[in-house]
Amino acid sequence: MLTPIAYGLAVVLNLFVLFIGARFLLVPHAAAAGYGVPAKKDGNMAYLTIKGLRDGGYGLLGLALLAFAGARAEAWYMLIVALLPLGDTLIVLRNGGTRAVAFGIHFATAVIVLISAALLFAV
């Protein structure tokens, strides 16, 4: 019973990160607003593109690890990747975003990713 939950959560998280990456590439200003730090209309679009590529790459890498290397490799990956939403929490707080977004989205995501890592280590 634990194996399908562990794999299912990992797949959903990786697909979600892939979706976020695609959103930053396709509708960068809306994605930045959803992130918690809106982008300036006349700002440097390169940073939004970088965010989209980074997230898309992380999502694909996570799916590839799960498919080709297995649960243990994916567990280590998730453990390390949990640092990213923790960093995002601080970025939102330091750049005028709300505490609700910082903790309700980014910190909560880090917790869910850590839960995913723990489940994958357990299978």
How does pLDDT run across 33-55, given as a tens digit for each residue?
999 999 988 888 999 999 999 99
- Structure confidence at residue 42 (pLDDT): 85
Answer yes or no: is pLDDT of 64 > 90: yes
Q: 23 with 15: CB under 8 angstroms?
A: no
Q: Which helix (H) or strand (E) holds 95?
A: none
**Composition of the chain by helix, strand, coil, percent to 5:** 85, 0, 15
Q: What is the pTM of this model?
A: 0.93
